[in-house]
Amino acid sequence: MNLPNELRKAVPPLGDTEPRQDLWPRMLLRLDRAPRRVQWLDWALAVLLLASFFVFPQAVLGFFYQM
């Protein structure tokens, strides 16, 4: 018995099958579900800002005024 031939008859090749619908909308949902990662630079800026509040406490007022 030619096993590959018989296998192809038992489990036929799928050929040029396509997704049942456009998957881009699902991709967008997947992207939205992804946890947002905070970049190291953002963390560094936050730490720098907090440190500056300790050194120059009066800067807190100026900061919130600017916000």
Residues that bind another protein (CB under 8 A): 1, 3-4, 6-14, 16-20, 22-24, 26-27, 30-31, 34
Closer residue to another protein in complex, CB, 18/58: 18
**Shortest Cβ distance from residue 28 to another protein (Å)?**
9
**Shortest Cβ distance from residue 42 to another protein (Å)?**
15
State the Cα torsion 25-31-32-33 to the nearest 10°: 110
All residues at 6 or more sequence positions from 60 whose CB lies less than 8 Å from its CB, including other chains = 53
